[in-house]
Structure 1
Amino acid sequence: MRKPFNPLQALILKAFTEGLFHDAEMAISSDQVVANIQRQFAMIEGRKPGEIGLILYVLCLVLGGPFFLMAGPEGCARRIENRLQRTQNDMLQDLARIRSIIYAGYYGHWEGVSEDDNRKNPVLQQIGYTLPAHRTRGPGDVKVTRVYGRDLEQSDILAQDQIPQAADVIVIGSGAGGAVAAATLAGHGHDVLIVEAGPHYPSGRITHEERRMTSRLFIDGGIQTSRDNDIVVFQGRCVGGSTVINNGICLRVKQAGLTHPHAEDVFASWAALGAPVDEARFIQSYEKVEERLGIEPAIEQSGRNNGPHLLRGWADHAASSGDQKDHQSPATWFSKNYGPRADGAACAYCGYCNTGCPYGRKHGMAQSYLLDARKHGAKILADAEVSEIVWKNGNAPRSAKGVEVCLSDGSRRVIAARKGVVVAAGALASSRILDKSGIRNTGTGISLNIACPVVAWMPDGSPLHSWNEDQMTTYVDRGDFLLESHFQPPMSM
């Protein structure tokens, strides 16, 4: 396997690793951490490895150049603390985020191929973490086993020599938006082509090797950022889009009893922006999607530690609060699209939602709407990135006549659209496509789920093993923010 970082960059990574871990016992060597990082970034497609390589050079200069490389673990730690951890400089704070890559190289350590190969994984043993296949489940617990027959087959994906010259409608993106649009259009008799930039990863190809799954299933290996590097934006890059790597949470925009009564009325906000939406029809659409996905509340057993902990904490807080908004805040269990339980596909609460469900239990787009689209004749083209929309004329109002795609072998071709193009590639990717297609002011005023993790040490002797459950099960809607129970497996955390 190729090494994306050259010897000097690898030396910088090693020095940074030894600085971050200088006062901690390492279960693997700093050389092994660097080897892990090399392996992880070798699996990431695109420009991100090169960008990180350039950042390493800048980081080294900021920390003293050759003096940093020769300072030894304690000296490196002192330079990191003085110049990065205590800084208020925005650029230096961005550079300090390299530490998350170092930690990923350490806690993402994986041996061999299978979970059994990692029974004695030294990093997992050091932190007392047990992989799903080796966990002890009690009576009544869902078994950590795979449910078969729910995924798209490889035969459902077009081969490179099967790409059509034209389609009635081209849908860019196979995630929540694109899949539902494609299934609906195909169901009305339109010839639909779905174009997905990422690969097809059915449940049988998904594993609990976090570094491989984040590299393969996420844009930029899970470290896609805004242009100013201030915000990391997670987005799926695979057939099924972000529904493959999300937590399965299904929230309505506005729902009595489950949404705070003082929360922003999004329908009024949309209308004020010049985009009025019929609320009754919108709710009907929600109901149809919920029925197709088999959405139902998470069972308490799946989040028995993390979930009730948040609800009890909020109840204690609200009881002592004089703020009426605290008392009016819904605090309950998420509705999710795992299962449905009646199909024998209840969530096995392994805790790896964000790196894909290897058990075929998540009812994402590849297990629902993409199957519907295929049933009605839609075609799915994977590993094909849309570079821009091709227009019939250059003046407004523009009318799309097709898209230019870049295939996995690097070749480009134009596919004609007889009736139109649907752009549903996610907030950032859609904005980039529209921008490259000559649509100005795209990517401004977009809405993203911005999360601020809050972590705490549990009391000594606490019996909680919150990693033996679903990642997110309960929430509190405060109106102006949402609190969610949450945990991640070692590398993702």
Structure 2
Amino acid sequence: MTDTAAVSSEFRTPPRVVLPHLSPAQRAALDALIPCVIDGAPPGTEARADLVARCDARLDALPPHRRAQFGLALDVLGGRIAVSLAIASPRRFGSLDAAQQRRCFGRWLDSPLAPLRSAAHSVRRLILAVHYARPEVAEAIGYAGPLQLRSPQVPWEGPLPGVSRPDEPVARGPVVLPTHIAPPPLPRGVIPAVAMRDDLHRTADVVVIGTGAGGAVTAARLAEAGFEVVVLESGAYRTRADFDEREADLTEKLYAEGGLRTTDDASVALVQGNTVGGSTTVNWMIMLRTPDFVLDQWATESGVYGMTPREMSPVFERVEREVHASAVPEDAHSANNRILLDGARSLGWKVSTAQINATNCVRCGFCGVGCRHDAKQSTLVTFVPRALTAGATLHADTHVDRIEVREYQ
């Protein structure tokens, strides 16, 4: 934002680059690695080939350099050097017997050589992600279908007994769960990338990148203050009608790089939302304030001002009110949480129930793939609609490549 000129934004839709598929050698290595990752891997040449093809297709969600990394990982793991480092046998991985392959892969996973260890874990994550997306596997673990919600399986799922109270985040009493949700019309101000037929150049008072916890709140505050706001979001605009509880499919649609994002060396997985609402659409709703000692450290060591505990307390309180953050009731905890609470209290430790940002949560357990019930008070249902109502424009499926700073006279 500037006093002398509006922010200038230019949107271009680049042509999609279709990368070549994995090479035959890489596919062969992937095929040989599957039984090392999945016990009871799909038997038969056709079933295994299908899983390999699905893995290859899943890589399309990655940027070119990450796709190249996977190809390189398969080249390394399928070659003689990696096998020699693991079991001192100068043979290709595909030529080993099943017992040797499992021993070799297990040693790669714990290898002191970081590149080799990262390559093994990267391929393992890919195979598992794709395997659990297969329809027959999803059905076997309880998925009922896009028009049928999975029934509560354990005591800590579903609405609680009693009468719902406004100061609680959970639903109580009999609740009719929807089986089919019609897609709503696209809200005024939301522009998906497919709607842009030509390059666009426009100005605004403020350009906000991202619609997560930071971007959406910023956009809403500024739009409601009268500024002209443009919001850019790399993910698609999706609603409760899209959140059909198919975990594997939605992970690919709602997470950055299809749920396969990692650090550059592939050693750490980065679970980051890539949809309108950002990670607030797919997180587990725990509302934690920045601890006072961290705020004090920022002030004393980093020179941050305006964010002391005293100054931030009303800010936290305001946001908590706006997203209906309230404590999880005592009778809403799972068995695991109950053990932690009761154990800590019996030891005399200080323990408290967490706050979550929800209204009438039915405890279905699918928080990580979007809330079908709109109970989760993510920015998708709170601050993004507020920004749009105040006149903001949201460009979805719009990736920001660079930011140029220009001086205006």
Shared fold (TM-score, shorter chain, > 0.5): yes
* DSSP-derived class of the 2:214 partner: helix
Structure-1 residue corresponding to 2:6: none
TM-score norm. by structure 2 comes to 0.76
Deviates more, 1:301-310 or 1:265-274: 301-310
Specify whether residues 88 and 292 from structure 1 end up closer, same or farther in structure 2 by C-alpha distance, changes over 3 A only. Answer: same
Structure-2 residue corresponding to 1:377: 391
Give me the whole-angstrom Cα distance separating, in 2, the residues matched to 1:181 and 1:249.
21
Specify whether residues 233 and 151 from structure 1 end up closer, same or farther in structure 2 by C-alpha distance, changes over 3 A only. Answer: farther
* DSSP-derived class of the 2:231 partner: strand
Match of 1:16 among 26, 33, 52: 33
Match of 2:320 among 283, 287, 290: 290
For 1:137-286, what aligned pairs fall within 5 Å after superposition? Answer: 140=173, 144-145=177-178, 153-158=186-191, 159-160=195-196, 165-254=202-291, 265-272=293-300, 273-276=302-305, 277-286=307-316
* DSSP-derived class of the 1:347 partner: coil
Shift, 1:331, TM fit = 2.2
Specify whether residues 71 and 92 from structure 1 end up closer, same or farther in structure 2 by C-alpha distance, changes over 3 A only. Answer: same
1:106 paired to 2:131: yes
Specify whether residues 240 and 151 from structure 1 end up closer, same or farther in structure 2 by C-alpha distance, changes over 3 A only. Answer: farther
Give me the whole-angstrom Cα distance separating, in 2, the residues matched to 1:362 and 1:151.
18
Give me the whole-angstrom Cα distance separating, in 2, the residues matched to 1:302 and 1:37.
39
Match of 2:40 among 16, 20, 25: 25
Specify whether residues 19 and 73 from structure 1 end up closer, same or farther in structure 2 by C-alpha distance, changes over 3 A only. Answer: farther
- The answer to whether the 8 Å contact 2:296/2:308 transfers is no
- The answer to whether the 8 Å contact 1:171/1:195 transfers is yes
Specify whether residues 283 and 333 from structure 1 end up closer, same or farther in structure 2 by C-alpha distance, changes over 3 A only. Answer: same
Give me the whole-angstrom Cα distance separating, in 2, the residues matched to 1:151 and 1:232.
34
Give me the whole-angstrom Cα distance separating, in 2, the residues matched to 1:308 and 1:143.
27
Shift, 1:368, TM fit = 0.6
The amino acid across from 1:364 in the alignment is S
TM-score norm. by structure 1 comes to 0.64
* DSSP-derived class of the 1:391 partner: coil
After TM superposition, which residue ranges in structure 1, 4 or more long, deviate above 6 angstroms? 146-152
- The answer to whether the 8 Å contact 2:220/2:384 transfers is yes
- The answer to whether the 8 Å contact 1:293/1:337 transfers is yes
Shift, 1:70, TM fit = 2.1
Shift, 1:132, TM fit = 4.9
Task: Provide structure 2 residue ranges, at least 5 long, that are not aligned to the other structure.
Answer: 1-17, 85-89, 143-147, 162-172
Shift, 1:176, TM fit = 0.7
* DSSP-derived class of the 2:295 partner: helix
Deviates more, 1:148-157 or 1:295-304: 148-157
Q: Deviations over 1:324-365 (max 9, x none)?
A: xxx55x4232211121xxxxxx22222222222223221111
- The answer to whether the 8 Å contact 1:174/1:194 transfers is yes
Q: Deviations over 1:173-219 (max 9, x none)?
A: 11110111111111111000001111111121123222322222111
- The answer to whether the 8 Å contact 2:283/2:368 transfers is yes
Task: Tell me: higher relative CO, structure 1 or 2? Use CA pairs within 8 A at least 6 residues apart.
Answer: 2
Q: Deviations over 1:117-157 (max 9, x none)?
A: 96xx34x27xxxxx952446686475543797998835441
Task: Provide structure 1 residue ranges, at least 5 long, that are not aligned to the other structure.
Answer: 112-116, 126-130, 255-263, 320-326, 340-345, 394-400, 402-417, 419-493
Shift, 1:18, TM fit = 1.8
- The answer to whether the 8 Å contact 2:115/2:265 transfers is no
Q: Deviations over 1:5-57 (max 9, x none)?
A: 34332221111112334xx4346654443344234334556643332122211
* DSSP-derived class of the 2:380 partner: helix
1:49 paired to 2:82: no
